[in-house]
Every structure is written in C-alpha cells, then in structure tokens.
Structure 1
Amino acid sequence: MKICRNIKLFALLFLILSAYSINASYAVHSGRLEYNSVLFDYSKFNTAKIKKDADLYFELFLKSEAGEMKNTYLYAAMSKYYLLTKAAPSKIEPYVQLGRIYDYINKPRLAKENFSRAKNINSESPFTNFYFGEFYFKRRDYKKALKHYNVAYNNGYNNNYELNLRLATIYEKFADLVNAKKFYEVSYSMKPDTEIQQKIQLLNELNYDKTEYYHSIRE
C-alpha cells in the first residue's frame, strides 16, 4: 500500500515538473510567438528599454541583407514587441509592428489580427491605419487600402510622402483623374521626381477613358 502511494506521489510530481518545464518556455508556432503569461510579472518590465531594443532590432532587420542575421533580427524584434503587448497592452505600436513583421514573413492572418487589435485600441490612429492600408495595398485590395489610408490622411498623415503617393496611385486605378492628379502633385512638391512629373503630364494630356493606358493601370 505504501509502495502504491509512493508511485502515485512520484507520478504526480513528474506531471507537475513536466508542466512547469513546458510553461517556462516560449516558442514560435506557425509563425506565432507564444509566452505563458502566468510565469511573468509584466508590470516589473522596463518597457522603455524593451521598446528601444525592439525598434533597434526591427531597424536592423529592415536594413540587413537576406540571410541568417536578418532572420535573427526579425525574431528578436518579434519577441520584444510581443513582450510589450503584455507589459503595455494599451499601447498601439507593438501591435502594429507585429502586424508588419507577420506581413513580412507572409503570415497574413496574424498580421491582420495584430493590426485589428491596434485599431480596437484607437480606430483613428494614423500610424495603425497607414500600415493596415499598406497590408491591403500589397494584396491589391485597393478599396480597403483606401479606407485605411483616408483615416491616416485625415488624422495627421496628410504630409506623409508615401501616403500621398499611394492615394494618387489608387485614385488613378479608380479612374478618378482629379484626385489622382492632386495627390501626384502633392507628392511631387514634397519630393520632386521625374517619374511623378511624367505621370502628371500624362494625366493632363491623355483622353483618359479612350486609351489603352486607362485599361492597363486598372489591372
């Protein structure tokens, strides 16, 4: 009887230790970074330091050539931003940055999930809406991209060069010549470029709806 009790006690202890071992780790499953929140007191974390490190790793990832180090920077940034979503869950930037990272590694569901979480915190954030717009622009879903770009534009990003150029491109694809020309001209005023200048001239000169150009840019 005593032996039986000892066996049961040993089995229970083994299960507890096994569970602890599993919970004490983190992993990337199908591109998703997972931590066990029970084991961390996130309120004790230095969020400013974590953010600084996360931003540095993300910047290094963007600047580095393809290879092992690029992936190292990517997953280092991912883990830091994930910690920030736990330590400072009301902050938008970590979710947006995770969304961008998941987009880079072709995990659209996870990217969209993180962009949506950021939107739930502040639906009018220009930072969130610009990159959510980029997510849809990349996939040629121009209507959804335009929706988010317009929110970004109306909430402080009206002087963003990339955003004005994106708006010009989308309006051109929608055959809205007035707005296309308007945003190309704004983009050109911010950063003079021969290609943009030629676009403006072309829109001025073409009989738009009767040319092959009109059909080609809508594809």
Structure 2
Amino acid sequence: LLVISIHFTFRYHRILKRQKRKQLIKEFDELLVRDPEAAKEKLKELENQRIIERGSLKHRARTKFQQDVVKYAGRDSKAKQVLEEHFRLGKELKSKVPMESSSDEEEEEEQEKKMSVSEMIKSAAVAAAKSDGTSGGPDDEDAAGEARVALFELRAKKRRELEAARSRAAKKPTDSEPIFEQESDWTFVSTSSKAQPESADGENESESKADLAETQKPTDPSEGW
C-alpha cells in the first residue's frame, strides 16, 4: 500500500510540475523575445533556485516523503524520473538563451593581443583621461607620446645598467695562480710554504756576496806600517 500511495503521489506531483514547467517555459520564451537581458537574469535566478533545491534534496532528506524518494529512486523508474526532472528543466532553459558573453570576451582578448605597445599606451592614456572627466584629444596624444618616451628611456636605462654589469664582470681579474705546485718527485707543495725558503735562500746569498766584496777590497800599503 505504501508503494501504491507513493506511486500516485509521484504521479500527481509530476503532472503539476509538468504543467508548471510548460507555463514557465512559455513565460520565459515571451520574456526572451521582449527583453533578452531580463531573460538572462531570470535564467540565473532559476539556476540559483535549482542549486538550493538540489542541496535540500541531497543533504536535508529528513521528511518521510523525501526519505521514500531517495529509498525507492533506484528501484522505481518513475521516482527516478521525478528526481531527474529538474535537470531536464535546467537544460531546456539554458538552451533557450545563447551564451554570447564568453564569445565577446574572447574577441576582446584577441584584439588586445593584436594591439601594439604604442596603441596600448595611447588607449590607456585615453581611458585615464575619460576617467578624469576629460575627452580624448590632442592633450591625450601628447600624454601618450610622453608616456612612450618615458618607456623608451626606461628601457635604455635598463640596457645601460646591464651592459655596465657585463663590462665589470669581464674586467674582474681572475686568480690563475695554482694553490699547489708539483715537484720533480711528484709531490705537491703549497706555494705559500715554498715562498718562505726561497726568501731565506735569497738572504743567505746576499750575505755571502757582501763577505766576498769585503775580502776582495784593495788594502792601503801605508796601513802595514
């Protein structure tokens, strides 16, 4: 008996919803002919209502009727049709309105990509002038020219800084002196430790040269007397 009562209840509500849906589609078609913008707003409103209704069906199935719908939806094809009716309604309403906003945005993006740097600067100057309450004219062209000159100067400054950094890096001396030197017996000696004995040998050599000069110095004959 419960299944029979649920079946007739579904059938009654299905007939009512079908009538409401036909009436809603008819009103939507008339609104689309009169005012397309208002039809878009109406479609957004219906979508929001559908989201709220779907959330209530999925997450708030607390009443006996909602629990029975969820329970017998997988077994009864008619109950499943009742649950899927809202999806069909949304698709039908969406198919009535052509989505032109996305195509317009894509065209604007393509036009922006085709614009050169000077045109972008000029358009930015004109937009700034319009936002200030002034109209585009010779002053706007002068402002665009000044902005273009400032941009070129900034690029030249960055280029000079880059060239100066490269020249400094090229002129920086590199330390090519090896840390270790190889001796004849295949041993490695530090250059710092090798420099100390060489300096000591140099001092000894200078002292020996001074002694030899003193011995070879000619003597005065009168000193012997």
Same fold by TM-score, threshold 0.5 exceeded?
Answer: no
Normalised by the length of structure 2, the TM-score is 0.23
State the TM-score, normalizing by the size of structure 1.
Answer: 0.23
